[in-house]
Amino acid sequence: MTEHDLVRRFAPVFDEVGAGAVAREHERRQPYAEVRALRDAGFTRITLPVTYGGDGASHGELFELLAELARRDSNLAQLLRSHFSFVDRLIHAPASPARDARLSLLADGAIHGNATFERGPAKVGEFATRVTRDELGFRLDGRKFYSTGTLFADLVSVAAERDGRHVSVLVRTDAPGLTRVDDWAGFGQRMTGSGSTVFENVRIAEQDILEPDDRPSHGGAFVQLVLLAVVTGIGRAIVDDAARFVRARTRSYSHASATRAADDPIVQETVGELSSLSFAADGALALAVTALERSSEAIRGGASEDEQRARIAEADVATARAQLVVLPNVLRAATGLFEVGGASATDEALALDRHWRNARTVASHNPARYKARALGDRLVNGTAVASWWTSGEA
């Protein structure tokens, strides 16, 4: 199955779940039904191996599909970020009973969420969330924020500390003591389930506590590329909405270049520029995804560790460069969109402002200025671009 085959296959369900995107934006209504529709259509299983009921979709296919989903509703594409990252980690992990068990959960339709970052006293590189042992076994306590997708998830991986070491704990979201709070207050991406997840004396099994390993991983580039696919999809939606608005517009100006907006060369030029800005985002995303696929081939093909790390470093560089193309071009397009019409383009019923708010919110996840500096440091001093980063109190 080719990338275009998958896009055609999922286009109807994408259209279905995207149909209410503007209404959800106005009402701040979480897309529970839409996530179920995507799961029922098999979208959450597309990257699983065929032996687990998936499509074995490539990275190129996945990120094109995410961009097309974001074209309909950027929230839906972002909220599945941790899910597809979790699948990707399992696919690239060595065979083991634990890996097989987790892949089976995903094959049965489980959706994975995120519980990594915190608001609180923990410093950069540390977590206040703790795994402790008592007379009953192991327990998990803490509070996470930016828990993107966890409102809709069945499983969540929790970054925590155990005896001073970082661990990852897999927890079911219906576990006693786990509470999901819809308190994300950002002005964009408001339906991604990115609020708090609270763990109070959550009992966990020892086999669900994983110590970190030092195997080469392109996970940092992967999760950033999901965000870039989301913004790329927003860029496509901007072009769609601009053309739709102009085609329907009947009002004009006495000093306009044509009596109809659709015939006005200045308006046509503006729409053409928006299309080129979106095209630049498409191209940058595709190039970065190609670098990610090369790293995947090295890892899964059993290349030497040095070769794997070299390919991952290339993916990190390509992703950082793509960030500096995708984000400013789509943000520019989100503002330029309003040049195709007058004050009527600001009508709240159209919600055209959502494109800038959503793109700006996604772009704030990993500040691009730091990536520009990192690229310059690499070119001037040979310093590697960081594969992974975290946040916390200074």
| pLDDT tier, 112 (very low <50, low <70, confident <90, very high otherwise) | very high
- 31 and 180 fall within a common domain: no
Give mean pLDDT, residues 185-192: 96
> What percentage of the chain reaches a pLDDT higher than 90?
85
Which of 52, 82, 109 terminates a domain? The answer is: 109
Total domains present in the chain? 3
pLDDT of residue 368: 86
pLDDT of residue 48: 98
pLDDT of residue 3: 65
- 94 and 146 fall within a common domain: no
d(CA 326, CA 285) in angstroms, rounded, equals 7
d(CA 29, CA 23) in angstroms, rounded, equals 8
- 287 and 265 fall within a common domain: yes
Which of 210, 227, 257 terminates a domain? The answer is: 210
Average pLDDT of the residues of the chain: 94
- 165 and 202 fall within a common domain: yes
Q: Domain for residue 393, yes or no?
A: no
Domain of 133 in residue numbering reads as 114-210
Ranking 21-25, 31-35, 211-215, 317-321 by mean pLDDT, the lowest is 211-215
- 32 and 157 fall within a common domain: no
Please give the single-letter amino acid code of residue 21.
A
Q: Domain for residue 387, yes or no?
A: no
> What percentage of the chain reaches a pLDDT higher than 70?
99
- 134 and 258 fall within a common domain: no
d(CA 102, CA 87) in angstroms, rounded, equals 9
pLDDT of residue 329: 98
Q: Domain for residue 244, yes or no?
A: yes
CATH of the domain at 161: 2.40.110.10
- 244 and 364 fall within a common domain: yes
Residue range 192-237, pLDDT digits in tens: 999 999 999 999 999 999 988 889 999 999 999 999 999 999 999 9
**pLDDT of 76 higher than 70:** yes
CATH of the domain at 375: 1.20.140.10
Give mean pLDDT, residues 128-135: 95
**pLDDT of 308 higher than 60:** yes
Residue with tokens 């970082």: 166
pLDDT of residue 260: 85
CATH of the domain at 27: 1.10.540.10
Residue range 255-293, pLDDT digits in tens: 878 778 788 899 999 999 999 999 999 999 999 999 999
SS (H, E, C) the chain: CCHHHHHHHHHHHHHHHHCCHHHHHHHCCCCHHHHHHHHHCCHHHCCCCHHHCCCCCCHHHHHHHHHHHHHHCHHHHHHCHHHHHHHHHHHHCCCCHHHHHHHHHHHCCCCEEEECCCCCCCECCCCCCEEEEECCEEEEEEEECCCCCHHHCCEEEEEEEECCEEEEEEEECCCCCEEEECCCCCCCCCCCCCCEEEEEEEEECHHHEECCCCCCCCHHHHHHHHHHHHHHHHHHHHHHHHHHHHHHCCCCCCCCCCCCHHHCHHHHHHHHHHHHHHHHHHHHHHHHHHHHHHHHHHHHCCCCHHHHHHHHHHHHHHHHHHHHHHHHHHHHHHHHHHHHCCHHHHCCCCCCHHHHHHHHHHHCCCCHHHHHHHHHHHHHHCCCCCCCCCCCEC
Which of 151, 179, 210 terminates a domain? The answer is: 210
Q: What is the pTM of this model?
A: 0.96
Residue range 323-380, pLDDT digits in tens: 999 999 999 999 999 999 888 899 999 999 999 999 999 999 888 889 999 999 999 9
| pLDDT tier, 2 (very low <50, low <70, confident <90, very high otherwise) | low
Q: Domain for residue 257, yes or no?
A: yes
- 374 and 225 fall within a common domain: yes
**pLDDT of 1 higher than 60:** no
Q: Domain for residue 151, yes or no?
A: yes
- 101 and 247 fall within a common domain: no
- 150 and 91 fall within a common domain: no
Q: Domain for residue 389, yes or no?
A: no
**pLDDT of 122 higher than 80:** no
Q: Domain for residue 388, yes or no?
A: no
- 128 and 181 fall within a common domain: yes
Q: Domain for residue 291, yes or no?
A: yes
pLDDT of residue 202: 98
- 227 and 376 fall within a common domain: yes
